[in-house]
Amino acid sequence: MENNTDTIYLIDQAMAIWCISTFSLLTDSEIIGGYNLFLIIQDMLESISNYFFDIYTNTYYEEYDFTSNSSLQIAGTNELIFLSLALTRVETRYWESFYFPRSSYSVHQKIINEYVDTDWLVHENNITDNEVKIKNQAFFAILSFMMRLGNVGGEVRNATTDEFLNENGFSIELDDTQITCESCFYGLIAIASEIWSSIENTREEQEVPIPEPTEAANYVFYMVSLLVIVFLIRSVRKKRKLKII
């Protein structure tokens, strides 16, 4: 929840779960500073189930307002990608003991059914809109490879290079000539998604012990990388809200 507001967001919950579960996988840690990581993750999963998910309609919502006690705005691709990514890490770490009403594969399939067209372009809000952004292409490609769905990841990655890449770099949206540092960053994520995901899956499965102080810099770098992505996502959301206002 942000300061001075009664609103919480699905993507914040999902990214927090992703970061905590990934840290637990990489360091084989269960207790940090007296806090049980599994209990924190399970509490956050329950909050998603209670505030952001309607099990009867299989609908996910973007935000929850405690003032009106209501879920608002159907979640878009961005929220569902990070929810699926968070669930994959939880399933890998706590596959015998955690609970959530849907699996990561169920959420991934929902994205394909409702947001991805026949050309493997990932739409922002539904399969019929005209909002196709490179960030969604990049994140869905890397999600698919991390879930070992290589056919899907490859198709999305190829669609990204076919439709967004030109001689000057990657454009920020489909049929948009604007090229930015951020759009090229996402383009590079899409290109590197298969190799990076393979390496990351291997690292996490090895359950690397907590590093010695001399080795900790590698883990700091990794967590900073995660935070950079978190910052980018939150910045985009804030810009979108300012436009609405």
The rounded radius of gyration (Å) of the Cα atoms in the chain is 18
Reported confidence tier of residue 217, pLDDT bands at 50, 70, 90: very low
Give residue 54's identity as a one-letter amino acid code. Answer: D
First to last CA, the chain: 20
Q: Which residues, including other chains, have CB under 8 Å from residue 158's CB and lie 6 or more apart?
A: 120
Q: What is the pTM of this model?
A: 0.82
Residue 58 has pLDDT above 50, yes or no: yes
Q: Read off the pLDDT of each residue in 60-67 and give the average, rounded to a whole number.
A: 94
Please state the separation of Cα 241 from the chain's center in Å.
20
Sequence ranges of the domains in the chain: 1-115+211-238, 126-207
**Residue that wins the pLDDT comparison between 10 and 206:** 10
* Measured distance CA(200)–CA(197) in Å, rounded: 5
Pairing of strands 53-54, 169-170: unpaired
What pLDDT score was predicted for residue 33?
Answer: 83
Pairing of strands 59-65, 7-9: antiparallel
Q: Read off the pLDDT of each residue in 16-29 and give the average, rounded to a whole number.
A: 89
**Residue that wins the pLDDT comparison between 94 and 96:** 94
Bridge partner residues of 59 (DSSP): 54
Long-range contacts of 101-109 (CB under 8 A, 24+ apart): 101/49, 101/53, 101/55, 102/53, 102/58, 104/147, 105/147, 107/60, 107/80, 107/83, 108/84, 108/143, 108/144, 108/147, 108/149
**Window from 91-95, 112-116, 146-150 with minimum mean pLDDT:** 91-95
Q: What percent of the chain stands above pLDDT 70?
A: 82
**Residue that wins the pLDDT comparison between 36 and 241:** 36
Give residue 180's identity as a one-letter amino acid code. Answer: T
**Residue that wins the pLDDT comparison between 242 and 181:** 181
Q: Using CA of residue 10, residue 13, residue 17, residue 18, what is the dihedral sign?
A: positive
Residue 215 has pLDDT above 90, yes or no: no
What pLDDT score was predicted for residue 171?
Answer: 95
In degrees, rounded to 5, the angle at the alpha carbon of residue 95 between the alpha carbons of residues 91 and 100 is 65
Residue 31 has pLDDT above 80, yes or no: yes
| Averaged pLDDT of the chain | 85
